[in-house]
Structure 1
Amino acid sequence: MAKRPNAVKTQRSGKERKRKPVRNRVAANNGGGSARVLPLVLSTAMLVCIGVIGYFGVRTIVNSNFFSVTRVEISGIERAPRETIERIVNAEAAENSAWTADLASVKERIEKLTFVRSASVSRWLPNSIIVSIEEHKPAAVVRMKKGEFLVTKDGVVLTEAAGAEPGLPVAMIGWDEEKSQTADKENLERIKLYSKMIEDWKIHGVLDRVSIVDLSNVRVPRAIADEGGMTVSLEVGRESFGENLERGLKAIAGKSADFEGVELVGSTLNLKPRKAAVK
């Protein structure tokens, strides 16, 4: 008897097993793959939709009036212009919210202001920008070619002095306006000497006798003073400024018509005669 083409005899039992058609097996496999792929495609599509909705939703929220800047808080200023700082912050806030404001740009612009040494800018959500300022502190009043200027302890020329400066009643002369490392180094030394001289003269009660601090030569600091209605120049050494000035003033007292100043050699004071007037 002839075997059926779709019948297969198993080796173990010797019984015939009916074979599935190839077409049916392929169709079954394809159906199982589609069942697995379809949920994955749907999940991906849903995630993309959620992401798009979330992105545009967040943008709508952060750009809404809820995050509009309504308060600018500024601290640490004495000389820096509050109005200018507020304008800088508000100019950025007009185009962005408190959440999206470019704080680095605001910081950079504020730090270009004359008296601003450094600035810290932060946001306080939902609607505030906080600005903390560290200012430059004038350490000397320096007389230059174009007038008297405020200068920091680091040698930074800030701005022209406007009237009396608290704590700095006397101007310095001798500032090197050349742009060089040597000039910068000597100018820093001038600032240090100036500060020490002013402080020591205050302690000794002779600051009001000084009209100018002469640091043209950093190795020979001088005080320019008025004595008997005439200007005199007194060397004060590199230390003990108050004591040396007191001694110099006593040495030239009543003699300013004949002597233009006092030279300090070691601890010895020498009166310097005035030059005869040219006829």
Structure 2
Amino acid sequence: MSIFLERQQIRKRKTFAKRIKATERVLFSLAVVLGGVAAMYGLYLFVVSGPIFPVKKIVVDGNLTRIMKEEVETITGIGIGQKLFVVNVENAHERLKEYAWIREATVRRRLPNTIWIYVEEYEPEAIIINDNVPFYVDKEGVVFKKVEPGDPLEYKIISGVDSKDGSEQLKESLNLLFTYEESGFGKKFGISELHYDELIGYSIVTDNNPFQIVLGQDAFYDKIDFLSVCQGIVEHPGVGIKYILATSKERIAVGYHRDEI
């Protein structure tokens, strides 16, 4: 065999040996990676389903008046003894948000063994009548719950108004209600119902010695101010008011119960 052929065979053997070593290094690295992955997965299984980190305490925070803490726990589906890292906090949060009285909710894990739940309830501002069905509405105009038997009823009534969440008419109605309640006339006579009629406009039924105040279609806030200015004039001892027509922001017409005059 010639020297040239011998050198070629030597080079081939060296190249083959290098490839074998490179393959060995790759396989070794792969084995290390797979071993690490297996170890991490084993650790994950141990943490998630092993004997450590069981839920031992469920803390419910928030100023709760409509819903009991035990009811909050039941809604979430979380129980003592469940594995802390198995608990689906996102699912528990969604369950709470579906409950009619709950405005905001937060569910979090707290090591080593606690589930922390925060709940903020809706606070009704009034009851709005929609197709003869009463619903609660909050001060921001969110219609959040149908009024059921046994629910509290000590709220003002809003009727004849677009009851869709956040509608401009509903917001205007709430602003009108707030303004009247803060006025001198409103503090004296109160309000039981705010009604809107397409022909007449807004009207108020007072709470104390009930009578109707017709505010019409515009200048509501000026008319309310004028009512407070005229408060001492329209009241007569022993004579009950039947109605007040606020025809303008500078003029009112007052009707009295005739049998008392």
Please, what TM-score do these two structures have when normalized by structure 1? Answer: 0.69
* Cα distance change, pair 63–239 in 1 and its aligned pair in 2 (3 A): farther
Stretch moving more, 212-221 or 125-134: 212-221
* Cα distance change, pair 199–157 in 1 and its aligned pair in 2 (3 A): farther
1:241 matches 2:224: yes
Tell me the equivalent position of 2:179: 196
Q: Give the drift of 1:211.
A: 5.7
- Look up the equivalent residue of 2:242 and give its one-letter code: E
1:185 matches 2:165: no
- Residue deviations 1:35-59 (CA, integer Å, cap 9, x gap): 3322332232232123123212322
Give structure 2 stretches of 5+ with no counterpart: none
Distance in structure 2 (CA, Å) of the matches to 1:260 and 1:270: 11
Q: Is the 8 A contact 1:262 1:270 kept in 2?
A: yes
Residue number among 253, 258, 271 corresponding to 2:254 in the alignment:
271
- Look up the equivalent residue of 2:181 and give its one-letter code: I
Tell me the equivalent position of 1:11: none
Identical counterparts, % of pairs: 15
Q: Is the 8 A contact 2:54 2:81 kept in 1?
A: no
Alignment of 1:5-154 (within 5 A): 6=2, 20=6, 22-81=8-67, 82-89=69-76, 91-92=77-78, 97-142=83-128, 149-153=135-139, 154=141
Distance in structure 2 (CA, Å) of the matches to 1:248 and 1:48: 86
Q: Is the 8 A contact 1:140 1:195 kept in 2?
A: no
Q: Is the 8 A contact 1:99 1:126 kept in 2?
A: no
Length, aligned pairs only: 246
Distance in structure 1 (CA, Å) of the matches to 2:98 and 2:153: 25
Q: Is the 8 A contact 1:212 1:224 kept in 2?
A: yes
Tell me the equivalent position of 1:174: 159
Stretch moving more, 71-80 or 93-102: 93-102
Distance in structure 2 (CA, Å) of the matches to 1:88 and 1:162: 20
- Look up the equivalent residue of 1:58 and give its one-letter code: Y
Distance in structure 1 (CA, Å) of the matches to 2:163 and 2:97: 25
Q: Give the drift of 1:197.
A: 1.6
Larger Rg: 1
* Cα distance change, pair 175–83 in 1 and its aligned pair in 2 (3 A): farther
- The two structures, once aligned, show a CA RMSD in angstroms of 3.8
Distance in structure 2 (CA, Å) of the matches to 1:7 and 1:135: 94
Please, what TM-score do these two structures have when normalized by structure 2? Answer: 0.73
* Cα distance change, pair 220–32 in 1 and its aligned pair in 2 (3 A): closer
Distance in structure 1 (CA, Å) of the matches to 2:207 and 2:56: 55
* Cα distance change, pair 140–21 in 1 and its aligned pair in 2 (3 A): closer
Q: Give the drift of 1:173.
A: 4.3
Q: Is the 8 A contact 2:62 2:119 kept in 1?
A: yes
SS at match of 1:69: coil
Distance in structure 2 (CA, Å) of the matches to 1:162 and 1:6: 106
- Look up the equivalent residue of 2:203 and give its one-letter code: P
SS at match of 1:221: strand
Alignment of 1:188-267 (within 5 A): 188-201=171-184, 205-206=187-188, 209-210=189-190, 212-217=192-197, 219-224=201-206, 227=209, 231-235=210-214, 237-239=220-222, 241=224, 244=227, 247=230, 250-251=233-234, 253=236, 254-256=238-240, 260-265=242-247, 266-267=249-250
